Amino acid sequence: QQPIHVIGGGLAGTEAAWQIARAGWPVILWEMRPTQQTPAHHSEHLAELVCSNSFGAMASDRAAGLLHQELRQLGSVVIAKADQHQVPAGGALAVDRGQFSQDLTATLAEHPLIELRREELPEIPRAGIVVLCTGPLTSPALAADLQRFTGLDYLSFFDAASPIVVGETINREIAFLASRYDKGEAAYLNCPMTQAEYQAFWEALNSAEQAPLKDFDRETAKFFEACLPIEEQARRGMETLTFGPLKPVGLSDPRYPEQPRPYAVAQLRQEDKAGQLWNLVGFQTNLRWGEQQRVFRLIPGLENAEFVRLGVMHRNTFLNAPKLLTATLQFQDQPHWLAAGQLVGTEGYTAAVAGGWLAGANAVRLAQNLEPVTLPETTMSGALIHYISTADVKHFQPMPPNFGIMPPLEKRIRAKQERYGAYRDRALADLGAWYCQLIKDLVPAG
């Protein structure tokens, strides 16, 4: 049995290595800390939580909570340890971060099939099965190797993402579907503003509070002059945005066909095939999350918008997953390489664990000459991995778990909490049936 290599002992790598060993296959887990630190980690432990100690809301009719529940069904070691080291956090699954990662480190180190190597792997091993889980702060040498393999355009080092809004929370009595100068298919939802509305928005944007930048983010940001945060553009003058992301040219408000064009227009581009998610074009921002919701809801049409992702600008190494990966988390051009975690563009701790589970499970299946599997799309974990492997290659940005990426329910349910509950019931039932079948198929008949 040739050991499988898992590179990176963060949230995804820890789960992947455990699932491989649990299935009876040897694994070498490469973790460069403490010999080489990242700019955000502080300890030598596996699965260190770099910032908040929370895995998100616990209720199973919330996106994070549903993902926790799915991972419990799948036997995730990371979520089991999170449950064990939970601290009170008013409805969120928060942990004692020290105990949590120390316990995981000891649990993996004691497993007879897991060899923990404290070394940086500067190149991807060319032979054998490899699971890449090196996260948003992948070491520069390995990132360079990945770039050689994937090509310049398919590995990003900086995440300058605009907020994403749930389509059905956009007020369609105001926002209208059109492309500039009516060119091609009507592709954007346009939120028109009068001069007074624009001025109120500009003033709020100018006085909104920014999130403090980490030193390494400040360093990286210098390389992205072309991608200025929207609040920075606003500070350059009252009209700057109306020549940039809010330019109104080529658009007229269908409510007032006789009037000249609007003073400013915010545009949203469709993010998923089903049109459930819309991205605020050019709204990359460093504003605090609460401030983003307050200010962006001043845009006519977005007054009740629900945000599934808020804007971020930070260092983040991630692959263009829809270009490079399949929904089994294998590389299309190198099927014995798999990847998971922030590196594939899922966002957040729990999402990394979910990807780690699938990549680990599929790495063992490959080793055992079995077909790799995909998770049911109706589950939160499956929907997320399906999303990152099929999203628009040109505009791909990382995505957190959210209900907007799940396939619509057969029956439309208006009330939000009831709808989320129905998503949850469908997801857990489908995952249960899928997992039973997976186990059954592994047991020899008779």
Strand 176-178's sheet: what is its strand order? Answer: 176-178, 188-193, 264-270, 277-280, 164-166, 307-309
- The CA distance from 444 to 446, in Å, is 6
Work out the number of other CB atoms within 10 angstroms of the CB of residue 120: 17
Residues 6+ apart with CB under 8 A from 20: 4, 6, 27, 113, 131, 360, 363, 364
* Residue 189 within binding range of ligand FAD, rule CB under 6 A: no
- The CA distance from 196 to 184, in Å, is 31
Minimum distance from residue 55 beta carbon to ligand FAD (Å): 7
Tell me whether residue 144 or residue 298 sits nearer to ligand FAD (CB atom).
144
Query: Tokens 């209720």 correspond to what residue?
Result: 59
Tell me whether residue 94 or residue 428 sits nearer to ligand FAD (CB atom).
94
* Residue 31 within binding range of ligand FAD, rule CB under 6 A: yes
- The CA distance from 59 to 62, in Å, is 6
Tell me whether residue 227 or residue 413 sits nearer to ligand FAD (CB atom).
227
Work out the number of other CB atoms within 10 angstroms of the CB of residue 182: 11
- Give the dihedral sign, CA 378/175/209/90: negative
* Residue 342 within binding range of ligand FAD, rule CB under 6 A: yes
Residues 6+ apart with CB under 8 A from 351: 67, 384, 400, 401
Minimum distance from residue 71 beta carbon to ligand FAD (Å): 14
- 220-235 as b/e: b if 16+ CB within 10 A: bbeeeeeebbbbebbe
Say how far residue 207 (Cα) sits from the centre of its chain. 29
Say how far residue 108 (Cα) sits from the centre of its chain. 26
Minimum distance from residue 435 beta carbon to ligand FAD (Å): 23
Position of minimal CB gap to ligand FAD:
10
Minimum distance from residue 209 beta carbon to ligand FAD (Å): 18
* Residue 341 within binding range of ligand FAD, rule CB under 6 A: yes
The CA-atom distances, in angstroms, between 126 and each of 5, 161, 337 are: 11, 33, 9
Region from 34-42, 168-176, 300-308, 374-382 binding ligand FAD, contact rule CB under 6 A: 34-42
Tell me whether residue 190 or residue 342 sits nearer to ligand FAD (CB atom).
342
Please, which of residues 136-155 interact with ligand FAD by CB under 6 A?
136-139, 142
Region from 205-213, 290-298, 336-344, 381-389 binding ligand FAD, contact rule CB under 6 A: 336-344
Region from 72-80, 131-139, 331-339, 417-425 binding ligand FAD, contact rule CB under 6 A: 131-139
* Residue 116 within binding range of ligand FAD, rule CB under 6 A: no
Region from 6-14, 222-230, 254-262, 426-434 binding ligand FAD, contact rule CB under 6 A: 6-14
Minimum distance from residue 242 beta carbon to ligand FAD (Å): 34
* Total number of residues that touch ligand FAD (CB under 6 A): 34
The answer to whether residues 8 and 95 touch, using CB atoms and an 8 Å cutoff, is no
Tell me whether residue 11 or residue 280 sits nearer to ligand FAD (CB atom).
11
Q: Of residues 4, 6, 8, 160, which one binds ligand FAD by CB under 6 A?
A: 8
Please, which of residues 351-380 interact with ligand FAD by CB under 6 A?
352
Q: Of residues 23, 43, 44, 50, which one binds ligand FAD by CB under 6 A?
A: 50
Chain contacts with ligand FAD (rule: CB under 6 A):
7-13, 30-33, 38, 40-41, 50-52, 120-121, 133-139, 142, 214, 341-343, 348-349, 352
